[in-house]
Structure 1
Amino acid sequence: MGKGRRSSVGSDSLFSIEARVPDVDTYLLLREKAGMRARTIQGATKGLGSELFSVILRVSESGEAVGMGRVVGDGGTVFHICDMAVDEKWQGKGGGTMIM
C-alpha cells in the first residue's frame, strides 16, 4: 500500500488515520495492547495484505500507532470489519470511531 494516506478530523485532533496495512509487528502489538487474543507470526504474515482496506490509528503529536481496523471480503457482496483494535490506554477517546 505504499506510504499510505493520512487524515485527521479537525486541526486539533488527538488522532490521525493512515490508510495502510500494519506490518506484522505492529499488528501483533496492537492486538496485545487492545487486550485481544494473540495471533501467530505465521498467521499474521499470511493474512496481512489480503484485506480490501486497512487503517492505522496514530497519535497526531507523536505518530505512535495506537489502533487499527481492517475490512476483508469477496470484493463484491460480502465485507467484514475485523481486527478493530485500540490500545487500552487510548480507549474512550474517539479513536475507534475514527477507525470506523
Structure 2
Amino acid sequence: MEDYRRLRTEADLSPVSREQAVAALPGSWAACHAVAANGTTVGMGRVLGDGGWYFHIVDMAVVPGHQGNGIGGAVLRHLLDVIREQAPPGAFVNLLADPPGRRLYRKLGFTETAPDSVGMAMRLP
C-alpha cells in the first residue's frame, strides 16, 4: 500500500491518503506492478471492473527514472491480457488518457471517443 501511494506521488498522479489506499486496492479487478532489480516498485496499473462488460484502467504510473524503458507498456499489456483471458468476448475497456500516456494507449489500440463521448469527473469534498 505504501508503494502504491509513493508511486502515485512520484509519477505525478494525485496523492491519496492511507485511508483511500486501504479502501481502493482491494476493489481492484486486476492489478500489476513492476519491480526494479534492487527490489523497488517502479511501475503499476490497475483495472476496476464488473467482470462482465466494463473494465476501467486506472493508476497507470511509472516513476520518472524508469520511464521510457517499456515498463508502462508491459504493465498495460499484462492488464489487457488478463481482461482478454478472463472476461467474456466483447468487453468494453476504457481509461482516462493524460497527455504523457496517450502515445502508449494509441499504440496498444485505444482510440479517442470524443466528440461522441467525453470523460467527465467530480471530486467530492
- Which TM-score band (shorter chain)? 0.7 to 0.9
| Residues 5-40 of structure 1 deviation map (CA, whole Å, 9 limit, x = unaligned) | xxxxxxxxxxxxxxxxxxx10100010111111111
| Alignment correspondent of 2:89 | none
Equivalent positions of 1:46-85 (< 5 A) are: 46-59=23-36, 61-85=37-61
| Residues 57-89 of structure 1 deviation map (CA, whole Å, 9 limit, x = unaligned) | 111x22221010000111110000000010011
Gaps of 5+ in 2: 77-125
Q: Which has the higher contact order (CA 8 A, sep 6+)?
A: 1
Q: More strand per residue: 1 or 2?
A: 1
| Alignment correspondent of 2:85 | none
Q: Distance in 1 between matches of 2:11 and 2:56?
A: 19
Q: More helix per residue: 1 or 2?
A: 2
Equivalent positions of 1:5-84 (< 5 A) are: 24-59=1-36, 61-84=37-60
Could you tell me which of 56, 69, 73 is aligned with 1:97? 73
- Which one-letter code corresponds to 1:85 in the other structure? A
TM (norm. structure 1) is 0.72
Q: Distance in 2 between matches of 1:90 and 1:35?
A: 14
Q: How many residues align?
A: 76
Q: Distance in 2 between matches of 1:53 and 1:85?
A: 15
Q: Compare CA radii of gyration and give the structure with the larger one.
A: 2
3-state SS of paired residue (2:53):
coil
Runs of 4+ in 1 over 4 A off after TM superposition: none
Q: Percent identity?
A: 37
Q: Distance in 2 between matches of 1:38 and 1:51?
A: 18
